């Protein structure tokens, strides 16, 4: 089961999140037919979104991360609710790039390097909170850390990773975020820096069978690590026919009339889950009457 844990350490002076997202990234890869570098990119963004979403207070709050770089993937979009339900897509799922110099999936060049990272938090208020920063490398972890620093003035360590099998299935996926608050003492931070250098990549730790709790134990176990809560994460789209009817209505009378006269039918596909919704002439005419 995929889930995210929230924790504190150093008597509340350090905030920490860790997640295992192997199953939800597998589901996203299957639905969208992702090539490995696309799985890694979307998986990293989904993992970051999941960890951030459970930190919102309202039960129906929604957090979106949109990464739009200059690379061949186009936009990478993830939407996560505070209850752990997530969805996402990439513009171009069949991107294939050679491995980078480190022998790893080249997410940086598939996404970026130039572009923007946008975080939208819908907290049920009149206006959503929107924060946007420039991409640093397109590797997502660094870009998210930069976002936290520039947009929320919060120093953060962000690690997100996905291992893809040769048959394109997902071997392991997960991540962690560590955020020292202003009262965190220097010893904890210095120790954390050493740990971060020594520790294998998060995707390897998850692949070895480490749980999110165990990952945090490795990083902060010596400093009164306190688990706050645990939230299941899953990839599940919330689209339905009614919602797509509203999209059809949104086309306006003129356009709808034209579709009825020329095509006589319409097929709409949900970006997030690839579900197809067919509208025949009668259904379109009924919608036209409503319009």
Binding site for Zn ion (CB under 5 A): 237, 239, 270, 272-273, 275
Please, what is the end-to-end C-alpha distance for the chain in angstroms?
44
CA 179/CA 17 separation, integer angstroms: 9
- Which of 145, 270 has the CB closer to Zn ion? 270
Which residue in this structure is represented by tokens 């420039």? 134
Three-class SS of residue 160?
strand
Handedness of CA 34, 140, 120, 12 (dihedral sign): positive
Q: How far is the CB of 49 from Zn ion (least distance, A)?
A: 16
Closest C-alpha among 57, 49, 6 to residue 234: 49
Contact (Cβ atoms closer than 8 angstroms) between residue 52 and residue 119 = yes
Task: Please count the residues of the chain.
Answer: 291
CA 283/CA 239 separation, integer angstroms: 18
Q: How far is the CB of 280 from Zn ion (least distance, A)?
A: 20
Tokens of 165: 């099998």
- Which of 76, 237 has the CB closer to Zn ion? 237
- Which of 33, 221 has the CB closer to Zn ion? 33
Which residue in this structure is represented by tokens 């996404």? 111
- Which of 176, 272 has the CB closer to Zn ion? 272
- Which of 3, 272 has the CB closer to Zn ion? 272
Looking at the DSSP assignment, which residues form a beta bridge with residue 90?
Answer: 76
- Which of 239, 288 has the CB closer to Zn ion? 239
Contact (Cβ atoms closer than 8 angstroms) between residue 267 and residue 25 = no
Please name the residues in contact with 244: beta carbons below 8 A apart, sequence gap of 6 or more: 268, 270, 277
CA 145/CA 56 separation, integer angstroms: 18
- Which of 67, 273 has the CB closer to Zn ion? 273
Q: How far is the CB of 267 from Zn ion (least distance, A)?
A: 14
Looking at the DSSP assignment, which residues form a beta bridge with residue 117?
Answer: 67, 133
């Amino acid at each position: 089961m995929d889930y995210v844990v929230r924790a504190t350490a150093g008597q509340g002076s350090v905030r920490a999140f860790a997640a295992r997202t192997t199953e939800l990234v597998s589901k996203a890869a299957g639905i969208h037919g992702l090539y490995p570098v696309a799985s890694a990119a979307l998986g990293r963004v989904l993992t970051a979104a999941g960890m951030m979403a459970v930190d919102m207070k309202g039960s129906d709050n929604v957090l979106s991360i949109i990464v739009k770089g200059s690379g061949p993937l186009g936009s990478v979009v993830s939407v996560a609710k505070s209850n752990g339900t997530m969805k996402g897509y990439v513009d171009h799922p069949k991107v294939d790039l050679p491995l980078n110099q480190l022998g790893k999936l080249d997410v940086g060049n598939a996404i970026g390097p130039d572009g923007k990272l946008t975080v939208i938090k819908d907290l049920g208020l009149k206006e959503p909170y929107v924060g946007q920063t420039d991409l640093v490398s397109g590797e997502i972890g660094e870009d998210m850390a930069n976002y936290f620093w520039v947009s929320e003035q919060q120093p953060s360590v962000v690690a997100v990773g996905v291992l893809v099998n040769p048959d394109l299935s997902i071997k392991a996926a997960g991540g962690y975020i560590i955020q020292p608050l202003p009262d965190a003492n220097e010893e904890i931070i210095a120790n954390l820096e050493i740990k971060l250098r020594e520790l294998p990549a998060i995707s390897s730790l998850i692949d070895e069978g480490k749980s999110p709790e165990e990952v945090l134990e490795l990083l902060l176990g010596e400093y009164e690590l306190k688990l706050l809560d645990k939230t299941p994460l899953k990839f599940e789209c919330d689209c339905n026919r009614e919602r797509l009817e509203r999209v059809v209505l949104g086309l306006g009378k003129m356009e709808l009339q034209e579709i009825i006269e020329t095509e006589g039918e319409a097929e709409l596909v949900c970006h997030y889950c690839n579900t197809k919704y067919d509208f025949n002439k009668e259904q379109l005419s009924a919608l036209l009457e409503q319009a």
